[in-house]
Structure 1
Amino acid sequence: MEVRVLRYFLTVAREGSITAAADFLHLTQPTLSRQLKDLEQALGKKLFIRSSHSIVLTDEGMLLRKRAEEIVDMVDKLEAEFSSMEETISGDIYIGGGETEAMKLIARVIKELQFSYPNIRYHLYSGNEDDVTERLDKGLLDFGILIQPAEVSKYNYINIPAKDVWGVIMREDSPLAWKAAIQPADLRNVPLICSRQAMKQTFSKNEFSDWFGEDFGKLNVVATYNLAYNAAIMVKEGIGYAITLDKIVDTSRDSNLCFKFLQPKLESGLSMVWKKHQVFSAAADLFLKEIQAKLTNV
């Protein structure tokens, strides 16, 4: 199976039409159709359901699309790393992380490196711990920023000397909006929108259950979210109150939202992780050294 053919397949999947994909790839339609037929024969599976004007991926086709995207991303990353092995450091750095204030540290390091190394490009991927570690394990990311508690034992890591503070996002006309801070009893009988990572990890490690105490089992979780932007939309629509971190949702006057800290205060630390025995590109190695130097001087 050639990477070139996988690129053809992904183009057809994206365009939804062999004719449109052939035009995009500057191939004849019969040539592209033959390549796809050979791919299906090699895999022993039907990848498309064809009609006169369009194609739809089968279940096997959707699986191949996911895997092919990972393979092509890895090949592109490898080619970029080899092409950057020159006297002047250049290349691509792939960083994944959740929505957190720690990204300000990453941004500052990138800003400082830009002047001396303008040919380094940075690619940011947003997701929760599962999303980030999956891509990290597959080699699609160089570094991950994880909100603690997180499973970091299988990685090299450094702790970032910053804390994210938890609170609740709500509409300004909500019954709890007048309160200076939110206590466990305030959330007992209201619909809650919670981070999937918090539900999966923080809750299981008892930080939230300790904070809620006897009220933990009485929570009414109506929805979970991956990105706080989406949680904020649900809050605006009146679906519930979102438990999230400070400073990652717009709560300016025009937003009609407000943020209230939890009381007693609940904080989460942060870690930057990378694979053990990782062989970095020159650009990624430089970035890591710069981060380590920055943290040493904090």
Structure 2
Amino acid sequence: METLELRVLRYFLAVTEERSITGAAEYLRISQPSLSRQLRQLEERLGHRLFERGSRTITLTAEGELLRDRAREIVALADRTETEIASMDEPVGGPVYLGCGESDAMRILARAARRVRVRWPQVRFHLYSGNAEDLGERLDSGLLDFAVLIEPADVSKYEYVRLPAADVWGVLMRRDHPLAARDAVSSADLEGLPLLVSRQMRAGGELAGWQGAAPERLDIVGTYNLPNNAALMVSEGVGCALCLDRIVNTGPDSDLTFRPLSPRFESGLDLVWRVDRRFSRAARCFLDELRGVIAGGARP
């Protein structure tokens, strides 16, 4: 099979985003017949239909969805490589790619980033939020320089730095919820309580080491990837959410409040990177500054 050209992958992605060949052709500033021909040739080369063509819009087949996901990674990595090579002529500059779940420990990385920007203002930071599975995939594929993983996490295949922070697990609830009168939430309180949990937790992740309620006794009404949408569900009375402290607004103007688990349960955090990762100068400077922040006793 001939190698797929980046140009054709960009054409394909434009069609998936515009959901029409006409719109994609206008965006790309090429003729519609030329774009249609490129797409037909792409399908012939791969031996599969990539689109279901409707009267107004097109949708992706299963093969098309797979190519879309891979094409995004390939194009992003190619763009990143080009940017990094171009920035090698600069004193220290270019992008640093950071992946992190929603954690207040991000403040530590932010302090290191600020120190980098003071010394090397041409460095730019690109943040990606996701769960451990998302971050691991992007780290392994080279789309991220670093990722922050919540313990327990398998760091055996990575280099890592332990961050001087710990996330506290608890329950996010409405202020008018009966449990809001408690100082903490016990395992007995969780049993029968409608709960939204993270997808990782549902798979036996973060809370595996807590002496809490047995999973089969929990009334799990939904799962979430990142907590902001889960907070809206809590606000509307769908249930409470098992989550980390200080990642959702529970200030005086919020109708939500957070109560920690009892016995208290904390998760440490690790900044990880691939063992074989060849850092750009910008990424290396960021890691050096982060180590300096940690040595200085930085805490969120």
* Same fold (TM > 0.5): yes
Q: Among residues 188, 207, 210, which one is paired with 2:209 in the alignment? A: 207
Q: For each residue in 1:29-71, what CA deviation from the matched residue of structure 2 results, as whole angstroms up to 9, or x when unmatched?
A: 1111111111111111111222443322222111111111111
Q: Which residue of 2 aligns with 1:223?
A: 222
Question: Which aligned segments of 4 or more residues in structure 1 are displaced greater than 4 angstroms?
Answer: none
Q: Write the mapping of 1:107-256 to structure 2, written as runs, cut at 5 A.
A: 107-202=110-205, 206-208=208-210, 210-212=211-213, 216-256=215-255
Q: TM-score, normalised by structure 1?
A: 0.94
Q: Hey, what's the Cα distance between the residues in 1 that align with 2:136 and 2:268?
A: 17
Q: Hey, what's the Cα distance between the residues in 2 that align with 1:255 and 1:239?
A: 17
Moved more, 162-171 or 215-224: 215-224
Q: Which residue of 1 aligns with 2:41?
A: 38
Q: Write the mapping of 1:99-114 to structure 2, written as runs, cut at 5 A.
A: 99-114=102-117
The answer on whether the counterparts of 2:152 and 2:206 sit within 8 Å (CA) in structure 1 is no
Q: Hey, what's the Cα distance between the residues in 2 that align with 1:39 and 1:75?
A: 19
Moved more, 186-195 or 273-282: 186-195
Q: For each residue in 1:209-255, what CA deviation from the matched residue of structure 2 results, as whole angstroms up to 9, or x when unmatched?
A: x234xx55422222121111111111112111111111001112222
Q: Which residue of 1 aligns with 2:279?
A: 280
What are structure 1's unaligned runs of at least 5 residues?
none
Question: What SS class does the counterpart of residue 160 from structure 2 fall into?
Answer: strand
Q: Which residue of 2 aligns with 1:69?
A: 72
Q: Which residue of 1 aligns with 2:6?
A: 3
Q: For each residue in 1:149-183, what CA deviation from the matched residue of structure 2 results, as whole angstroms up to 9, or x when unmatched?
A: 11111100010111111111111111111112112
The answer on whether the counterparts of 1:164 and 1:268 sit within 8 Å (CA) in structure 2 is yes
Pair 203,157 (structure 1): closer, same or farther in 2 beyond 3 Å: closer
The answer on whether the counterparts of 1:149 and 1:201 sit within 8 Å (CA) in structure 2 is no
The answer on whether the counterparts of 2:14 and 2:24 sit within 8 Å (CA) in structure 1 is yes
Q: TM-score, normalised by structure 2?
A: 0.93
2:97 equivalent to 1:98: no
The answer on whether the counterparts of 2:171 and 2:185 sit within 8 Å (CA) in structure 1 is yes
2:270 equivalent to 1:271: yes
Identity of aligned residues (%): 50
The answer on whether the counterparts of 1:193 and 1:225 sit within 8 Å (CA) in structure 2 is yes
Q: Hey, what's the Cα distance between the residues in 2 that align with 1:14 and 1:297?
A: 46
